Amino acid sequence: MSESTFVPAFVRRRSFIELDGRARAQSLVDEGTGKELVGPFDRIESPWLPMQGVAPQADDGCVVIKGRIAANPAVVISLEGAFQGGSIGEVSGAKMTAALDLATRDSSAGIPTAAVLLLETGGVRLQEANLGLAAIAEVIASILSLRRYAPVIAVVAGTVGCFGGMSLAAGVSSYVVMTREARLGLNGPEVIEQESGIEEFDASDRALIWAVHGGEQRVGTGLADALVEDSIDEIASAVRRYVLAGKPALHRSEQVRLYRERIAALDTSKQIDPPTLREQWGLRDSQGGAR
Amino acid sequence: MSEQVGLRGRVWFQALTGNDQPRTGDPGSVLTADAQERGETALFLCVVPNPDSRFPCVRDGQVGLEEAYALATRIREAIDDDRDKPSAEKRSIIAIIDVKSQAYGRREETAGIFLSAAASADAYASARMAGHPVISLIVGHAFSGGFLTHGYQANRILAFDDAGVTIHAMHKEAAARITRRSVPDLEHLGHHIAPMSYDVRDYAKLGTLYRLLHVNNPIEPTESEIVEVRQAIADAIDDARTGTDDLGDRLNSPAAKETRKAGRTVRTLMEEQWVAV
């Protein structure tokens, strides 16, 4: 073996997806700057899960780490997909909202503080139903407030994906970073099959799911900004780039006229063909079509 | 139970605006109108069933792509029109809510319904942050993504105290299936776990409502009931104008102080620890 043996990045990479929620958050802040807030030792658990015979978790599946990214003040909020599917309950929702609101307070006082949201979530935690839905409405409100001052960067790495009400949180974020293993949508395939029938969506058709919800297609149609490999280095680098870029001049969810025209132009007499939509909406650049 | 979702929305939109037709360019499912509310102009918005929609999965009153972008368009027009007015003169934005859910369709997912829902929530929240009082009046169903898209960003939420009003994250049958319970078990849990309940009086315990209103038969309101509802909307507008432009009031309401103790503790601790690092 000579020293010049080529080792592809794919082999050398350190996986981000394999990390748990806490390690994911730590991997994105500048070394030595991250401090977890309202962590597991504060033991703020869901009061609603034990009433239903479900074991709570000491961090309620939400990790908040304040630190610096590319030397800028930042907070990373990470949802743990392995706990209750990353679902939002009273406590995890309150952690998100509280951290976002404090970032807004600092930002409006002249210390721009970016937020990075690691979204691995199916949306509302059904055991906390209406408090989960209320919490998601508040998370959306807090993102919209912060992004007036500083960028909010959503990362959907996989493999849970980002669904339900939390897909709106991604939708109102300044930038969305996805891997090919990630999915983003309001309703998951199983829910659509259940509600509207298998002829509407066959949830066992994996290729269809990736063509509709997958990161490759979301970025390719301009509904997300950057497609990255499942690699700590690539994801951290994309996040740093967006922190340094600051907030965009116009957020995607403000581009109402553009998207309304695009929807008006769709042929809805049959299902929408994902490759055709990609041609119509995508910028067709070699990077997959960031805005 | 047999009453069709969405009928109440049209009844109340008509009662409060004298109008029941969509604007040119809007889908048949979206009713919006500027109407007088106590001598001031207010923008009313409502989503109703449109059996002729070109999107099959919204025909029963679900909120889909066209609905969300139409709402966002009309709200943003109001924000732009009132941009240079002082806060006290910015028109109120009043969402009348009777929505079954978001649209569960493949066309919708492919074309990014998550972004359309986000764009509508963004428009409502932007109006609120620009100083418009945003008031929601729940006259029937307010479900899940439908409610997040249309109405949940309001400064103040009013709801009828009526068995036909349901505010929830997911309809009973689906919630039972996903949490592996029977529907009767789910209903039983709702009796002692307020956030699980499908009863609007239990919802009121969460602290997110400004007020519950009584109307005998919401599908056929009397003149005096309409006057009472108008007064409640006017009170909510006044209250919103004196409050904050975020959703913080929800967590500080007397009911929230009882029910959302854990969430309130999180906020206190987060602030203590945030300033310490």
Coil, helix or strand for B48? coil
Mean pLDDT of A188-216: 96
Residues of A in contact with B55 (CB under 8 A): 268
Q: What angle do CA A160, B120, B266 make, to 5 degrees?
A: 55
Q: Is the pLDDT of residue B189 over 70?
A: yes
List all residues 6 or more positions away from B66 whose beta carbon is below 8 Å from its beta carbon: A263, A264, B27, B29, B30, B53, B55, B58
A186 contacts B274? CB cut-off 8 A = no
Residues of A in contact with B123 (CB under 8 A): 256
Strands A62-69 and A72-79: antiparallel
Q: Is the pLDDT of residue A283 over 80?
A: no
| pLDDT tens readout for residues B203-257 | 999 999 999 999 999 999 999 999 999 999 999 999 999 999 999 999 999 999 9
- Cα–Cα distance measured from residue B166 to residue B161, given in angstroms and rounded to the nearest whole number: 10
Mean pLDDT of A200-219: 97
More confident residue, B41 or B174: B41
Mean pLDDT of B130-156: 97
pLDDT of residue B237: 97
- Cα–Cα distance measured from residue B162 to residue B165, given in angstroms and rounded to the nearest whole number: 6
| pLDDT tens readout for residues B174-183 | 888 888 889 9
Structural domains for chain B? 7-246 (3.90.226.10), 247-277 (no CATH)
Q: CA separation (Å) from B158 to A280, B12, B135? A: 42, 13, 8
Mean pLDDT of A18-27: 98
- From the number of C-beta atoms within 10 Å of its C-beta (0-12, 13-18, 19+), residue A211 rates as middle
Chain A segment 13-32 residues within 8 A of B by beta carbon are none
Structural domains for chain A? 9-281 (3.90.226.10)
pLDDT of residue B82: 98
Strands A175-179 and A226-228: parallel
Mean pLDDT of A233-242: 98
pLDDT of residue A286: 43
Q: Is the pLDDT of residue B80 over 90?
A: yes
Q: Is the pLDDT of residue A44 over 60?
A: yes
Residues of B in contact with A164 (CB under 8 A): 144-145
Return the amino acid letter for B27.
Answer: P
C-alpha B150 chain-centroid distance: 5
Residues of B in contact with A161 (CB under 8 A): none
Q: Is the pLDDT of residue A222 over 80?
A: yes
pLDDT of residue B171: 87
| pLDDT tens readout for residues A111-131 | 999 999 999 999 999 999 999
- Among A95-109, B1-15, B20-34, B42-56, whose mean pLDDT is lowest? B1-15
Task: Provide the CB-side half-sphere exposure for A36 (13 A, CA).
Answer: 16
B189 contacts A252? CB cut-off 8 A = no
pLDDT of residue B173: 87
Q: Which residue of A has its CA nearest to B155?
A: A141
- From the number of C-beta atoms within 10 Å of its C-beta (0-12, 13-18, 19+), residue A261 rates as exposed
Q: Is the pLDDT of residue B1 over 70?
A: no
Mean pLDDT of A174-183: 98
Using the structure block, give the residue that is written with the tokens 């307010």: B142
User: Secondary structure of chain A in the HEC alphabet?
Assistant: CCCCCCCCHHHHCCCCCCCCHHHHHHHHCCCCCCEEECCHHHCCCCCCCHHHCCCCCCCCCEEEEEEEECCEEEEEEEECCCCHHHCECHHHHHHHHHHHHHHHHHHHCCCCCEEEEECCECCECCCCHHHHHHHHHHHHHHHHHHCCCCCEEEEECCCCCECCCHHHHHHCCCEEEEECCCEECCCCHHHHHHHHCCCCCCCCCHHHHHHHHEHHHHHHCCCCCEEECCCHHHHHHHHHHHHHHCCCCCCHHHCHHHHHHHHHCCCCCCCCCHHHHHHHHCCCCCCCCCC
Query: Count of CB atoms within 10 A of residue A17's CB?
Result: 18
Q: Is the pLDDT of residue B90 over 80?
A: yes
pLDDT of residue B3: 66
Shortest CA gap A78–chain B (Å): 15
Mean pLDDT estimate for chain B: 95
pLDDT of residue A9: 83
B104 contacts A257? CB cut-off 8 A = no
| pLDDT tens readout for residues B93-108 | 999 999 989 999 999 9
